[in-house]
């Protein structure tokens, strides 16, 4: 079962008080309510009411109080009151900003209640207002909540696009915390096991941001540790996961927000399931479910239900597992209906079988002979059915094998032609490089030597000629090096890539950063050359087409695979509407020979990220 655990909690929104005609008593009452918060809910509610009575209705500070109060009831799970307060903000026409904040709060509540259409409409209206009044931080926040809404609907690609837009706006606005919150959400969209490295990459970006923001203490601290606990557990690092769980639990206790505590129990339940401690996993899941149910958070409750039913099934409490999965199906409606139905039938059979076995024990003497006959007939039916099924499967497998052999032969023929073409290309590159070095390079050196011996009256003209010869000699060496990187042949891929990136930086065309992780020099030389050519082509494409000023090249070697990530801050492109150029087709051709994977993530004005994965022979 794919695990969907995104941790989006909206605590009190802190703004500088810019209100006009602010009543001092109302301000003191509001500050007291915010300070007490969830430690004394009844007292906080009373203070909000008193603050509203002290402040004149229709003033800017009055709407500020309504906004803070709406966030309080939202976090408390009392959505009807929060919606009513949001409507008061939306329906006033005096302050445009508070109309936008009311629409944003309505969108947040609808997202939590899984009312996708309402959430999308409200948030898009809020974005229009914030763009009109030029408030980029609120635009970024609304984009993040839109991403959350699509995430819960399992539209991960669309959700990631909104999160990236939010991150870029926050970064441009110089808000590291809002940027970190967006990185957190991007990380969760990569939570599928095959993209786990990308999820960890974005989560580590948050750790780096928080290292610079040592005075900050908020929900981002909680999220980054909870993410780390999840990722470390799926990597098998259970001890590290436990440390991160403890850190997130301490922060949740400090804030006293129920949703945070529920999320910690939820992730811990999933981690304990991976450790095969199913009884403890079920106990943690039930704690999370109780919190989510009390605080009216159906999305998180639904996620935890599935974890709980798996734990119950593993400890053979089939009745409990059956009822949990039945409840999950009722809440989940159309999501994963086929898979849930199948599991539900399996659990129903096991549960009914357990009940039948009890009756059989009580009535064994009376029905033993009839039961044996029924079992014999049943087994014969199964045997006949299996024989028929095996015959059919054998026939289908034979057909499939023949088709695969034809496709394999065709692919091998194409690969042989492609290898020959690339080998010829590399051979021609080598020949041209040597001709440049030995031929043109020698001629330039000889010309320079003869010119230096010439004495004449025009020394300035001679010096200019010498400078031009130096420039031609350097350009000849640079072209020769690009055609045949000697460093790759002598020192290996790591040194060659570092030299290449240094040459790019020296050219002034692009500011590039190179990172290598556990990269060894014992890789096969054809593989090293192919990886070098691929990265060379990607950097050249960035320079030619992206209008980027910065780029990052990261290469990481693991026991069974080699991954390459190349990112830039350029103009990006709409992937669906852009035709593939020669450079990209060359990259795909090389990857097809290496049986590699290629993922390109780009949108207009948001930069481009290219991820490549190559399997290594053991």
Q: How many CA atoms lie within 13 A of 75 on its CB side?
A: 22
Both tokens of 260, joined, read 């945070």
State the residue for tokens 């959700």. 159
Q: 461 or 268: which carries more pLDDT confidence?
A: 268
CA atoms of 490 and 486, how far apart (whole Å): 6
Of 5-14, 18-27, 171-180, the poorest mean pLDDT is in 5-14
Both tokens of 354, joined, read 């357990």
Greatest mean pLDDT among 81-95, 294-308, 310-324, 570-584 = 81-95
> Could you tell me how many residues make up the chain?
618
CB neighbours of 176 closer than 8 A, spacing ≥ 6? 209, 212, 213
CA atoms of 369 and 296, how far apart (whole Å): 54
pLDDT value at residue 408 = 63
Phi, psi for 136 (deg, rounded to 5) = -65, -30
**Other residues' Cβ atoms within 10 Å of the Cβ of residue 563:** 19
Can you tell me the mean pLDDT for 335-364? 52
pLDDT higher than threshold 80 for residue 462: no
pLDDT (tens digit per residue) in 198-247: 888 888 888 888 888 877 777 888 888 888 888 888 888 889 888 989 98
CA atoms of 360 and 353, how far apart (whole Å): 10
pLDDT value at residue 196 = 84
CA atoms of 51 and 64, how far apart (whole Å): 11
| Cα angle 31, 34, 38; round to 5 | 150
- Residue 325 and residue 309 in contact, taking contact as beta carbons nearer than 8 Å: yes
583 closest CA partner among 615, 535, 549, 541: 541
Secondary structure class of 292 (helix, strand, coil): helix
Percent above pLDDT 70 for the chain: 75
610 closest CA partner among 527, 548, 560, 559: 548
pLDDT higher than threshold 70 for residue 442: no
pLDDT higher than threshold 90 for residue 585: no
pLDDT higher than threshold 60 for residue 513: yes
Question: What does each C-alpha distance from 332 to 112, 252, 342 come to in angstroms?
Answer: 14, 28, 15
State the residue for tokens 């203490």. 217
pLDDT value at residue 64 = 92
- Residue 29 and residue 47 in contact, taking contact as beta carbons nearer than 8 Å: yes
CA atoms of 250 and 252, how far apart (whole Å): 5
pLDDT higher than threshold 60 for residue 248: yes
Phi, psi for 424 (deg, rounded to 5) = -65, -40
pLDDT value at residue 511 = 93
pLDDT value at residue 576 = 58
- Residue-averaged pLDDT of the chain: 78
pLDDT higher than threshold 80 for residue 50: yes
- Sign, CA dihedral 36-40-44-47, equals negative
pLDDT (tens digit per residue) in 410-436: 556 555 544 555 555 555 555 565 555
The DSSP-derived string for 471-526 is: HHHHHHHHHHHHHS-HHHHHH-HHHHHHHHHHHHHHHTS-EEEEEEES--S-S-HH
Can you tell me the mean pLDDT for 517-532? 86
Tell me which architecture the domain covering 1-134 has in CATH: Alpha Horseshoe (1.25)
Domain 486-615, classified CATH 3.40.50.300, yes or no:
no
pLDDT (tens digit per residue) in 289-341: 888 888 877 778 888 888 888 888 888 888 888 888 888 877 765 444 444 44
CA atoms of 167 and 421, how far apart (whole Å): 43
Both tokens of 465, joined, read 């000629």
Per-domain residue ranges of the chain: 1-134, 486-615
pLDDT value at residue 556 = 92
Q: For residue 481, what pLDDT band results from cuts at 50, 70 and 90?
A: low
| Helices assigned H by DSSP within 275-336 | 278-294, 298-314, 318-332
């Amino acid at each position: 079962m794919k695990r969907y655990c995104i941790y989006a909690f909206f605590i009190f929104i802190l703004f500088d008080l810019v209100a006009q005609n602010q009543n001092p008593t109302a301000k003191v009452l509001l500050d007291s309510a915010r300070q007490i918060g969830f430690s004394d809910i009844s007292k906080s509610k009373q203070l909000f009411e008193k603050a509203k009575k002290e402040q004149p209705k229709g003033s800017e500070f009055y709407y500020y109080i309504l906004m803070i109060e709406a966030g309080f009831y939202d976090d408390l799970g009392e959505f009807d009151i929060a919606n009513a307060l949001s409507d008061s903000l939306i329906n006033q026409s005096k302050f445009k900003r508070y109309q936008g904040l009311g629409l944003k709060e309505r969108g947040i509540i609808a997202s939590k209640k899984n009312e996708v259409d309402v959430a999308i409409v409200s948030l898009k209206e809020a974005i229009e207002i914030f763009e009109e009044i030029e408030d980029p931080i609120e635009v970024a926040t609304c984009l993040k909540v839109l991403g959350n809404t699509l995430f819960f609907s399992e539209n991960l690609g669309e959700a990631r696009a909104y999160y990236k837009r939010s991150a870029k706006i926050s970064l441009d606005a110089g808000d590291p915390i809002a940027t970190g919150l967006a990185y957190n959400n991007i990380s969760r969209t990569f939570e599928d096991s095959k993209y786990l490295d990308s999820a960890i990459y974005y989560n580590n970006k948050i750790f780096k941001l928080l290292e610079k923001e040592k005075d900050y203490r908020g929900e981002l601290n909680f999220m980054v540790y909870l993410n780390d606990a999840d990722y470390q557990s799926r990597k098998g690092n259970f001890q590290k996961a436990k440390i991160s769980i403890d850190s997130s639990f301490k922060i949740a206790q400090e804030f006293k927000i129920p949703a945070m505590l529920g999320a910690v129990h939820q992730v811990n339940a999933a981690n304990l399931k991976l450790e095969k401690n199913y009884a403890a996993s079920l106990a943690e899941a039930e704690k999370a479910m109780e919190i989510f149910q009390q605080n009216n958070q159906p999305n998180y409750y639904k996620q935890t239900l599935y974890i709980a039913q798996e734990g119950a099934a593993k400890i053979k409490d089939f009745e409990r597992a059956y009822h949990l999965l039945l409840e999950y199906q009722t809440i989940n409606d159309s999501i994963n209906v086929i898979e849930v139905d199948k599991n539900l039938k399996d659990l129903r059979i096991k549960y009914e079988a357990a009940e039948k076995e009890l009756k059989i024990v009580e009535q064994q003497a009376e029905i033993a002979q009839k039961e044996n006959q029924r079992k014999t007939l049943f087994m014969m039916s199964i045997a006949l059915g299996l024989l028929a099924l095996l015959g059919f499967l054998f026939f289908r497998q034979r057909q499939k094998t023949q088709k695969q052999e034809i496709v394999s032969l065709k692919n091998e023929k194409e690969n042989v032609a492609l290898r020959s073409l690339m080998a010829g290309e590399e051979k021609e590159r080598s020949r041209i490089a040597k001709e440049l070095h030995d031929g043109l390079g020698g001629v330039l050196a000889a010309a320079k030597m003869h010119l230096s011996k010439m004495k004449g009256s025009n020394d300035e003209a001679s010096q200019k000629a010498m400078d031009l010869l130096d420039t031609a000699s350097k350009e000849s060496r640079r072209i020769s090096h690009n055609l045949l990187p000697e460093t790759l042949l002598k020192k290996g891929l790591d040194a060659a890539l570092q030299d290449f990136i240094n040459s790019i930086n020296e050219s002034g065309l692009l500011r590039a950063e190179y990172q290598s992780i556990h990269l060894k020099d014992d890789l096969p030389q054809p593989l090293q050359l192919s990886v070098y050519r691929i990265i060379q082509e990607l950097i050249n494409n960035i320079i030619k087409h992206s209008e980027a000023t910065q780029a990052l090249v990261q290469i990481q070697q693991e026991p069974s695979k080699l991954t390459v990530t190349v990112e830039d801050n350029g103009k990006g492109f709409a992937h669906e509407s852009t035709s593939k150029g020669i450079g990209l087709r060359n990259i795909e051709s090389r990857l097809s020979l290496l049986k590699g994977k290629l993922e390109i993530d780009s949108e207009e004005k948001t930069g481009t990220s290219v991820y490549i994965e190559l399997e290594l022979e053991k």
